[in-house]
Structure 1
């Protein structure tokens, strides 16, 4: 079967793919687009958050059609020996609101859901049902690939959206509550007050394996809420197993992931924060870059994105070094000390860290002083390879 031809087809309707579609449609309204998503709706079932300072004016403009919850009064962190309020405004996007914006802003017929892709090439994509969508350019934004060419650890989480029985009284996000018991790795609870009677509570772990036990994490969220007097009913949940990249061979990974003439974007193109697994600022930057070069021939666009990916890898080496020390030098229950020390540093440094824009002075400030891990173990970790990022497990 043959589908309609278009100027650009974007494989994967998650955050990266959806933002590319928005950016290209806005800058080039003459171009015909197709956003192809395997699931029932673009955006999937996720929540993405960002410090306001992580985005440029152009980035905020790109996100402006998407409904966002914004906390201008800042955010909070808590550790066993330290708690702090940070002034940076914080904002969060629900995937349902992202999907609504895509349906509203993109041309009718541009979004095709329930359409798993069987194959793609420089001239288009072939769906699992045999339908062929021919395209002048193809962008592959279908998510990270497991690879023996990358190594590191894992960030594992469960988030629950709760309607509370009574107003909960929180006015600011608690972006990292690490005063909780440390279990199997660095653990913290992330809490967003979405409305006076709604909370998003997420239990997150930096751990050595990708195992996720939904029953166990759900019980821990129940216990955390009960200890704080938050009662109510669950109205949504999400889970995730994300790679925390500490090293590897990016050129070999890209060669493995590459389809000649197809541009790689999102996590598939390594556009992530290697330590925090943060994606939103980098997805915005990549979408804007693709929109600026959307009229290039397909092969040139693919080459430009690959060069951009390798440049991003080089620019984020400091965060991979820190990740190596986090996983390799600190005992799982002691990893909290690294983050507690970090959150005593000046707030502008913390903001630049999350945006992937740390200066040389920032890097020196993070590394100098009394180390939170033994020096010998840190040096040993830097000369050892972490396990390859190959698989993920989940227990129902």
Structure 2
């Protein structure tokens, strides 16, 4: 087995891992960094979107490395009772552009693509042998685990199930702004094994290019590709967009957290002396599953604390994860209202009411930065769910977030192959 020495090894080349590597390289170009990813590309097959207001100036500077599509004149939402245009600028980035940006910025020696990690510890990472070489040990002063979210019986909630398709049309589509939620679609259509809150997400990526995603807030994590693909076809035909070529697609399942025992979850993923970031570390928005602004903040925090020994970096992320869990308790409460107080076909009323509120409140909500007034305002007024059901929902936690072997599970972090826990490695 050959050995190599690094300042930092990052396992998992998804959004969190890639941004940490970039931020570290920009702040400390003399550092030897390694990104280990079982897939052949960084970021996998995914599209990330965010509101411009989510990021600080430093965050925008970090993301300026990557090609993005932006809409400075805002976005739309559509519900059965109204349509609304909001002014907040919106951004989107494809995983292909994420990969291209990182491979351009990082040294070739930093990228271990198509390499499977078979062991992590505080002193480094063990890689499996390849078809053309022997196993390899990457020794490191610090190790950061950025693999994908791990379903756990210690966490509770529902699921966001989606299938997206990038279409290139022969004629201009005429859609000027993104539609973040088009909930005028049929709310009684099952996503697989049951009903769910359904909406279509529309991104006009160019005059002839449009990205359509059929999304469900569902109790069941199963993804019926055939059903969702058929509904995208139906939506495209209804808008005159049925003559296009398919450029790309994505599909997956994201957790929507309603509660759980977070310290117990941390115990199941913790490897002594190894920092845990990304969705695996709990760094997501519990209700919307947004990760961009949180991933950017964590990447900048790593860059600012680059000289910390591995044990201290692990402790810092453990603290940040617990703080994030406490900070986002309010959004888990709202997720309980959504899943346990409203019938699936009537969950649309929750979002329909929410999007009538002030734009600043909506911006802060998506960034998980709601102030006390925001929190009261969201709950104030005529409730979109029955009050007795809402009271009952406050004390529920939901089903454990476990998936069976038939479920196609993909989080917002591209999955790095699982390895055994520390005591099994």
- Superposition TM-score tier, normalisation by shorter sequence: over 0.9
* Counterpart residue number, 1:157: 162
Tell me, what secondary structure is at the counterpart of 1:256?
helix
What corresponds to 1:279 in structure 2?
291
1:351 partner SS: helix
Match of 1:243 among 247, 251, 255: 255
1:298-337 to 2 correspondence within 5 Å?
298-337=310-349
Shift in Å at residue 122 of structure 1? 0.6
Say if 2:126 is the partner of 1:126: yes
1:47-85 alpha-carbon deviations (Å, 9 max, x no partner): 000100000001001101101101011100000001100
Give the distance between the partners of 1:108 and 1:40, measured in 2 at CA. 14
Q: TM-score, normalised by structure 1?
A: 0.98
Structure-1 residue corresponding to 2:416: none
Q: Provide the rounded CA distance (Å) in 1 between the counterparts of 2:126 and 2:78.
A: 49
Question: 2:159 matched to 1:147?
Answer: no
CA deviations on 1:314-349 (whole Å, 9 max, x unpaired) are 111110000011001100000000000000000110
The separation in 1 between residues aligned to 2:246 and 2:119, in whole angstroms, is 38
Cα contact 1:213–1:394 (8 A) shared by 2: no
SS of alignment partner, residue 45 of structure 1: coil
1:388, 1:394 → 2: CA distance?
Answer: 15
Normalising by structure 2, report the TM-score. Answer: 0.92
> What are the within-5 Å matches in structure 2 for residues 18-167 of structure 1?
18-129=18-129, 130-167=135-172
- Matching of residue 296 in structure 1 with residue 308 in structure 2: yes
SS at 2:99 equivalent: helix
Give the superposition deviation at 1:394: 4.0
Asked if 1:223 is matched to 2:234, the reply is: yes
Provide structure 2 residue ranges, at least 5 long, that are not aligned to the other structure: 130-134, 190-194, 409-425
Q: Give the equivalent residue in structure 2 for 1:168.
A: 173
Higher mean C-alpha deviation, range 111-120 or range 187-196: 111-120
Deviation at 1:110, TM superposition (A): 0.6
The offset of 1:224, in angstroms, is 0.4
Q: State how far apart, in whole Å, the 2-side matches of 1:128 and 1:333 are.
A: 47
Deviations 1:271-316 (A, max 9, x none): 1000000011100001111111121111111001010010011111
Q: Report the counterpart of residue 11 of structure 1 in structure 2.
A: 11
Q: CA deviation at 1:2?
A: 2.1
Contact 1:156 1:207 in 2 (8 A): yes
Select 1:198's aligned residue among 201, 209, 233: 209
User: What whole-Å deviation, never above 9, does each CA across 1:257-278 have from its counterpart, x for those lacking one?
Assistant: 0000000000011010000000
Are 2:359 and 1:347 equivalent residues in the alignment?
yes
Which of the pair has the greater relative contact order for Cα pairs under 8 Å at 6+ separation? 2
Q: State the 1:377 CA deviation.
A: 0.6
Distance 2:70 2:151 in 1: 34
Conservation of the 8 A alpha-carbon contact between 1:214 and 1:394? no
Stretches of 4+ aligned residues off by more than 3 angstroms: 392-395
Distance 2:173 2:21 in 1: 38
State the Cα distance separating 1:385 from its structure 2 match.
2.5
CA shift, 1:374, in A, is 0.4
